[in-house]
Amino acid sequence: MNIEFAWPWLFAALPLPLLAMLLPRAARREPAALRLPFYAALGDTLQAPHSQRPRLRLALAVAAWLLLVLAAARPQLIGESVHLPVSGRSLMLAVDISGSMQNEDMPIRGRQLSRLGAVKIVAGDFIEQRKGDRIGLILFGDEAYLQAPLTFDRNTVRTLLDEAQIGLAGQQTAIGDAIGLAIKRLRQEPASNRVLILLTDGANTAGNVDPLKAADLAAHEGVRIYTIGIGSGEMVVQTPFGPRRVATGDLDEATLQAISDKTGGRYFRAHDTARLMQIYDLLDRIEPLSEDQQTWRPVDELYAWPLGLALLLSVLIALAAAYRGRAASASRRAESAEVSHA
């Protein structure tokens, strides 16, 4: 660790007080109409603080000025270099939160979870493992909303995913709008690292953009789309005649397959959480990590310390000046009393 100054050129301001002292001062005009018999003594008293400035007060003033200039130069404590692995991948995760995602047909650990609940568990673990990747989150229903821009902050992205609620964006499914929004957010990223993972359990039933046209635009922009169809397609419900299996959802696998084919991605079918986990493991192999590293040096700002000390010294100087002022006033009153008695 070492200390550096962000703005060292500000040290050139150190001699400014000396230059100010060398400037010529305006001559004082004494009022001719006022005549005091003790003028000489009063003048000596008033001039004393300037001609006989206490050394301690002068030392405090000099120290305060030095500290102010030091704070202005922004001292920084520079830490040791930290190497962060960076894959360069920019992964946008688009998650369907329409009404059908509440269907409980995703088994995990012996119990049935809703489709969104299963996505939160598995996708959350997937996000946690994305060290070095920039992760973004889009939630879509009737419309698509950006919940998190591309960021290295995986904890925030996972928190936002965990807080997602069914129907928050509407009950229908706007797949085309979600793809369009992802393209807009990925456009500024390197062309070879733009990836969208889209999870849905239905067909496009809302939005202003056709999914296949959005896929064409994604292919033109170099965005690879991996589509994942969620849901087992049937669930067990209790009826007066006992449990029965009923079909659930209207997953448009043909469209999802076409979207992935157009963009150079792949389509996956996740019937259960185990298959969903396998899909994410496969994505790691499809999108390999690079060996690049990003170097980062922690910087702690230290200007607050000299600035605080300068403020403390200024308060001490002000208190000393106030004390001398009161002492001078008391002395003048005493001399006036002596003159009156004389």
Mean per-residue pLDDT, 231-247: 49
More confidently predicted of 50 and 103: 103
Mean per-residue pLDDT, 295-311: 87
73-119 pLDDT tens trace:
999 988 887 766 555 677 899 998 888 888 876 776 667 778 888 88
Q: What is the pLDDT of residue 321?
A: 76
187-218 pLDDT tens trace:
888 777 788 999 888 788 888 889 999 999 99
Q: Rounded to the nearest 10 degrees, what angle do helices 304-341 and 55-72 cross at?
A: 150
Comparing C-alpha atoms, which of 250, 271, 249, 253 is closest to residue 261? 253
- pLDDT-derived band at 27, boundaries 50, 70, 90: low
Comparing C-alpha atoms, which of 98, 94, 192, 200 is closest to residue 150? 94
State the DSSP H helix or E strand holding residue 8, giving kind and residue range, or none if neither: none
